[in-house]
Amino acid sequence: MGTEKVEDPARGGAENPREAGEVKISRPGYLSLYQNGELSKRTDALWKKLECCDICPHKCSVNRLKDEKGICKTGKKAKVSSFGPHFGEESPLVGRHGSGTIFLTHCNLYCIFCQNYDISHLGEGYLVDEEGIGEMMLSLQNMGCHNINFVTPTHVIPQIVKALSFTIEKGLTIPLVYNSGGYDSVSTLALLDGIFDIYMPDFKYSDDRIAQKYCNASDYSEKTKQAIKTMHQQVGDLILDEKGIAKRGLIIRHPALPENLAGTYEVMKFIAEEISKNSYVNLMDQYRPCYKANDFPPLDRRITQDEFVQTIKIVRSFGIKRLDGLEHFL
């Protein structure tokens, strides 16, 4: 996969990492944003968006500061299902000590086959304030985790960013991972520039008709393309340190589905032609029927090995070679 080094990526003076050349990654970008006062401004701007919520493309326009709730079923406070070191994530995130995951409750997508439906659909979890989120982050760092990995953060990103200043004051220094379903707003992502060092969006479907049927997002493909382009503009291709640990960049997840419902050809064409052939892609083969999937054939079965091998061939046909954990298939 190779390694590359870049300097501090925070905006307001830092070089673009894709133009910086072989210079050392010193620290996460959010530290510089905190020091120059920009993080406080971003926090205020994100919090303001909650008054007439347009955090994600759904633009529900509810006042979440008054605990009004839209599609994500979340008011002023974030809700957390669990947190801890996770060893089932992509290898550059896991390393030796694990990725420090915080599983946020609820979601702005409601996929009918969600494997975490008890969290995303049923709301399993507990309310936390920003100081509580910060304490979780510090706890994960103290456990030796290589990063803080926010799982499904889209709908509670103002609360996460507000927690960050408190956490920095207490000594947070490891990269942050934005691990989303891909249905993200460009205007919100613009306020995260320099805060998240690693973006890890899904690209679930290339056909919006499929997306509407299975996750109630009729513009999923276009919004996800815009979001991934914005993420890549901010952080570039994935950069690893000398130990193979992710320090900065983009990881794209593409869950393979039965009968190619995910539209792998179109997704990989977009990545190769509009993002980068050097993109780090996790082509995921672990689909299994969950939640309401049994009512929606062919999602009522796992993908076959032949189907998955075909998706790998599609990916490689576009010259994309940085594939996570697929050595046994190649």
Q: What is the pLDDT of residues 121-143, one digit of tens each?
A: 898 999 999 999 999 999 999 99
Which amino acid would we find at residue 71?
Answer: I
Four-way CATH pick for 29-329: 1.10.569.10, 1.20.1260.10, 3.40.228.10, 3.20.20.70: 3.20.20.70
Q: Are 230 and 190 spatial neighbours (Cβ–Cβ below 8 Å)? A: yes
Kindly report the pTM of this predicted structure.
0.91
Length of the chain: 330
Average pLDDT over every residue of 79-103: 96
Per-residue b or e along 17-29, where b marks 16 or more CB atoms closer than 10 Å to that residue's CB: bbebeeeebebbb
pLDDT at 14: 36
Helix (H) or strand (E) holding 179: strand 176-180
pLDDT at 325: 76
pLDDT at 6: 42
Task: Place 7 in a pLDDT band, splitting at 50, 70 and 90.
Answer: very low
The sign of the torsion formed by the CA atoms of 299, 300, 306, 312 equals positive
pLDDT at 191: 98
Average pLDDT, the chain: 91
Task: Place 5 in a pLDDT band, splitting at 50, 70 and 90.
Answer: very low
Digit-coded pLDDT (tens) for 285-296: 999 999 899 999
Which amino acid would we find at residue 81?
Answer: S
Average pLDDT over every residue of 8-36: 60
pLDDT at 230 > cutoff 70 = yes
pLDDT at 328: 54
DSSP letters spanning 2-39: ---------TTTPPPTTTS-S----S-HHHHHHHTTHH
pLDDT at 24 > cutoff 90 = no
Helix, strand, coil % over all residues of the chain, rounded to 5: 35, 15, 45
Share of the chain above pLDDT 90, in %: 86
pLDDT at 54 > cutoff 70 = yes
What is the residue extent of each domain of the chain?
29-329
Higher local confidence (pLDDT), 326 or 73: 73
